[in-house]
Amino acid sequence: MDDEWCSFLANARFDVGLSIDGTEWLHDRNRTDHSGNGTYERAVAAVRRLQAHGIQPDLLCTVTSETAKEPLAVYRALKDFNTGWIQFIPIVRLTADGQPTADSVTGQGYGDFLCAVFDEWIRQDLGRLDVQLFAEMALVWSGGNASLCWMAPTCGRVLIVEHDGSVYSCDHFVNPDHHIGNIEASPLSALVDLPVQRRFGDEKQTKLPSQCRSCSWLTVCNGGCPKDRFALAENGERGLNYLCGGLRQFFAHAEQPLKHVTRLRKEGLTLEAIRAKLLAESQERWRGVGRNDPCPCGSGRKAKHCCWSKRV
C-alpha cells in the first residue's frame, strides 16, 4: 500500500477495508508473508498511510479460537487506530472430513468474545466508534432493515472480483461452482441479477431450518452466513449455523442495552449524555455488591464468578 495507491483510492473515493487482527502477536500468528515473516508492522504502516491521504479504513479483524481468548486486548488495539469502524469476522473452516479446524472459533468462544467487546464499547465508545455488528443490530431493533448480508433474509448482492476479473457469488464461495462470470465480458450489474446468483441469495431463506424460523432472534440473524450453516438443528435437520449458540448468547446479552440506547436517543439525549447515564446506571447497579454476592446481572452466580471484572 504505497502513496500512489493511496492517492488513487482517495481521489476515486473508494471505501477501503484493511485486514488487521488486533494485537501484533495474534496478527503475526495468522498472517505471514511468503517468507514466513509477520506482517503486522506493514499493516500498521498501511493504516497510517491511508489516514495520511484522508482515508479512514474499515478495520477487518478475524476472530479465531485464539483471538476469542483476548477480546479486550484485540478491541483496544483496533480502537487505538482511531479509524472509527471495526468489523469482526468469525473464522470457521472445515477439515477434509468435515470437522472444524483447530483455529476455528467455537460458538461459545465467539459469543463470549462479542459480549466482552460489547460491554466495553457501550460504556466507553458509544458514538465514538462503530462496530459493524452492533450498528446493524441497533438498526434492526429500531425498525430498520439489516444491510449486512449475513443478517438479512436473503443475500447474494455482494459479489467478489478476483485479480483476473473472475466474479464469484460471494467471497466465502470462491470455487468453480460459484463462478458466475468475468467483468471483462459482463458488467457487475448484469452478473448480480443472473438467475443463478438470485437463486444463490434466495437459498439463504428457502433452506432455513425450522428451528431458525421459530427462533426469537430471527430478525437479527436469519440463519447467519450460509458458509457456517452445516450443523444439525435440535430436530436433526441439517443447516443450523455452527455459531448459533454463541450468536443467541450475544443477542440476548445486547438486546436490552441497545434498545435502551434507542429509547434515550428518541428522548433527545446526546450520545455523550447517554454514555454518562449508562455509566451512572452501572455504578448504581453495583453499589454495595461484594465479590460473594449474587451478580446483579441476574445469572444467579456469585459476582466474582460472573461479571465482577466488568463492574464500573
CA angle, 217 as apex, 61 and 60 as ends, to 5°?
10
Grid coordinates representing 291 are 465479590
**176 domain residue, yes or no:** no
| Total of domains in the chain | 1
What is the Cα–Cα distance from 259 to 141, expressed in whole angstroms? Answer: 7
Name the residue among 71, 9, 16, 69 with its Cα closest to residue 43: 16
15, 171, 193, 293: the catalytic one is: 171
**246 domain residue, yes or no:** no
Is the full-model pTM beyond 0.85? yes
**44 domain residue, yes or no:** yes
**84 domain residue, yes or no:** yes
**301 domain residue, yes or no:** yes
What is the Cα–Cα distance from 280 to 34, expressed in whole angstroms? Answer: 51
What is the Cα–Cα distance from 42 to 164, expressed in whole angstroms? Answer: 25
What is the Cα–Cα distance from 219 to 266, expressed in whole angstroms? Answer: 22
Instruction: Say which CATH number the domain at 113 has.
Output: 3.20.20.70
Residues spanned by the domain of 86: 3-141+268-310
Known catalytic membership, residue 171: yes
**179 domain residue, yes or no:** no
Q: pLDDT truncated to tens, each residue of the chain (312 aa)?
A: 899 999 999 999 999 999 999 999 999 998 999 999 999 999 999 999 999 999 999 999 999 999 999 999 999 999 999 999 999 999 999 999 999 999 999 999 999 999 999 999 999 999 999 999 999 999 999 999 999 999 999 999 999 999 999 999 999 999 999 999 999 999 999 999 999 999 999 999 999 999 999 999 999 999 999 999 999 999 999 999 999 999 999 999 999 999 999 999 999 999 889 988 888 888 888 899 999 999 887 778 888 888 877 776
Question: If you count DSSP H runs as helices and E runs as strands, how many of each does the chain have, helices first?
Answer: 11, 9
